[in-house]
Structure 1
Amino acid sequence: MSKKIRSAVTVSLVPEAKGGPFVFWDDLPSAIEEAAQLGFDGLEVFAPGPDAFPAPTLGELLKSRGLALAAVGTGAGWVKHRLLLTDPDAGQRRRAIDFVREMIEFGAAAGAIAGAPAPAIIGSMQGRWSGDTSKDGALGWLREALDELGGHAASHGSILLIEPLNRFETNLLNTLADGSALLRSLSTENVKLLADLFHMNIEEIDPASALVAAGDDIGHLHFVDSNRRPAGCGHIDYVPIAAALSKLNYRGFASAEALPWPNSKTAAERTIEVFRRVFGSSG
Structure 2
Amino acid sequence: MAIRSAVTISLVPEARGGPFVFWDDLADACRKASELGFDAVEIFLPGPDEVDLVTLRTLLDGHGLALAAVGTGAGWVKHRLNLVHPESSVRSRARDFIRAIIDFAGRFHAPAIIGSMQGRSGVDGVDAPTAAGHLADALEELGEHAKNYGVPLVYEPLNRYETNMANTVEAGMAILRSLSTKNVVLLADLFHMNIEESDIAAAIRAGRGGIGHVHFVDSNRRPAGLGHIDFAPIVAALEEIEYQGYASAEAFPYPDPDSAAERTMQTFRQYFRNDEA
TM-score, with length taken from structure 2? 0.98
Q: Secondary structure in 2 aligned to 1:215?
A: coil
Show structure 1 runs of 5+ residues with no match: 112-116
- Counterpart Cα distance in 1 of 2:220 and 2:98: 29
8 Å CA contact 2:190–2:216 kept in 1: the answer is yes
> Does residue 128 in structure 1 map to residue 120 in structure 2?
yes
In the alignment, residue 32 of structure 1 is paired with which amino acid?
Answer: C
8 Å CA contact 1:11–1:31 kept in 2: the answer is yes
Q: Which residue does 2:61 correspond to in 1?
A: 63
Q: 2:111 aligns with which of 102, 105, 119?
A: 119
Q: Give the paired residue count.
A: 275
Give the CA deviation at 1:281.
6.7
Q: Which residue does 1:39 correspond to in 2?
A: 37
- Counterpart Cα distance in 1 of 2:100 and 2:152: 14
Give the CA deviation at 1:55.
2.0
> Does residue 216 in structure 1 map to residue 233 in structure 2?
no
- Counterpart Cα distance in 2 of 1:81 and 1:260: 24
The percentage of aligned residue pairs carrying the same residue is 60
8 Å CA contact 2:205–2:241 kept in 1: the answer is yes
Within a 5 Å distance, the mapping from 1:7-46 to structure 2 comes to: 7-46=5-44
- CA deviations on 1:31-59 (whole Å, 9 max, x unpaired) are 00000000000000001000002223212
Within a 5 Å distance, the mapping from 1:195-274 to structure 2 comes to: 195-274=188-267
- Counterpart Cα distance in 2 of 1:6 and 1:242: 12
8 Å CA contact 2:73–2:114 kept in 1: the answer is yes
- Counterpart Cα distance in 1 of 2:206 and 2:85: 31
> Does residue 159 in structure 1 map to residue 157 in structure 2?
no
Q: 2:102 aligns with which of 81, 87, 104?
A: 104
After superposing on structure 2, the runs of 4+ consecutive aligned residues of structure 1 that deviate more than 6 Å are none
Q: Which residue does 2:177 correspond to in 1?
A: 184
Within a 5 Å distance, the mapping from 1:76-115 to structure 2 comes to: 76-109=74-107, 111=108
Q: Which residue does 1:114 correspond to in 2?
A: none
Show structure 2 runs of 5+ residues with no match: none
In the alignment, residue 28 of structure 1 is paired with which amino acid?
Answer: L
